[in-house]
Amino acid sequence: MNALVMLGQERPLVDWTWIADNLPLIWDATLEHITLTVVSVGLGMAVSLLLTIAALRWRWMYGGILAVGGILYSIPSLAALAFLVPLFGIGATAAVITLATYTVLILVRNIMTGLDGVSEDTIEAARGQGYTERQVLLGVQIPLALPVMMAGLRVATVTVIGLVTVTALIGQGGLGQLILTGVRLLPPLPVMIVVGTVLSVVLAIVFDLALLGLGKLLTPWTRSQRSA
């Protein structure tokens, strides 16, 4: 019986009183989760854009970037954190680099797939109208590639939101921090684990839908095509 009490037998999974009393704590954890996500995806996006520009210029690099990205992608987040902590110490740097790592493969692949998907005829037509190479890239290729790029951004963002929780192990983690604290309290506090997990899923859905909406706003022509 004692062991069961230790495991929080009497504490409910959903404890509205606890939630009501700890709204500021939950809000702070959510904000930290969002900050870590945005910074990591932003860093990942910057790196991916640089890599894509390099790959556009030197095509042979593309295979190498995908291969390295694939290896990094397969390495468990736990192991990635463990490599980086001795180098950068416990803190946000190790967390952000780890999280950004997982976006590069998805983002580079989607940016390239998007750009490659623009038909040769369209590009030729733009050149025929007197577009310079730069104008073709910025005015034709990138806008037409946006839907595929945005799809990549959505997958990367949702992936990172799920992974942020793991960085609780090194004192970050946003909502993961709620989960970890809930486990480490004696006895454990189940409501913290439930709130942390559920809100992480909610955040993922909200960001996914928001980016979906943003993508539609940025590419109005895809909407009119669909309704036509």
2 touching another protein, by CB under 8 A: no
- 102 in contact with another protein (CB under 8 A): yes
Q: Are 106 and 175 in contact (CB under 8 A)?
A: no
Rule CB under 8 A: say whether 14 interacts with another protein.
no
Minimum distance from CB of 131 to another protein (Å)?
29
**Cis link prior to 187 (omega < 30° from 0)?**
yes
| Among candidate residues 182, 171, 177, 175, the one with its CA nearest the CA of residue 81 | 171
- In the complex, minimum distance from the CB of residue 97 to another protein, in angstroms, rounded to a whole number: 14
Q: Looking at 46, 71, 212, 214, which residue binds another protein (CB under 8 A)?
A: 71
Per-position x/- string for 109-128, each x denoting binding to another protein as judged by CB under 8 A, each - no binding: xx--x---------------
Number of shown-chain residues binding another protein (CB under 8 A): 55
Q: Does position 9 bind another protein by CB under 8 A? A: yes
Q: How near is the Cβ of 156 to another protein at its closest, in Å? A: 9
User: What CA–CA distance (Å, rounded) separates 164 from 160?
Assistant: 6
Q: Check binding of 100 to another protein (CB under 8 A).
A: no
Q: In whole angstroms, how close is the CB of 228 to another protein at the nearest point?
A: 23
| 225 Cβ contact list (under 8 Å, min separation 6) | none
Smallest distance, Å, CB 205 to another protein? 6
87 belongs to the binding site for another protein (CB under 8 A): yes
Positions 131 through 190 that interact with another protein (CB under 8 A): 151, 155, 158-159, 161-166, 168-170, 175-176, 179-180, 182-183, 188, 190
* Shortest CB 78 distance to another protein, Å: 5
Binding site for another protein (CB under 8 A): 4, 7-9, 13, 71, 73-83, 85-87, 102, 106, 109-110, 113, 151, 155, 158-159, 161-166, 168-170, 175-176, 179-180, 182-183, 188, 190, 193-194, 196-197, 200-201, 204-205, 208
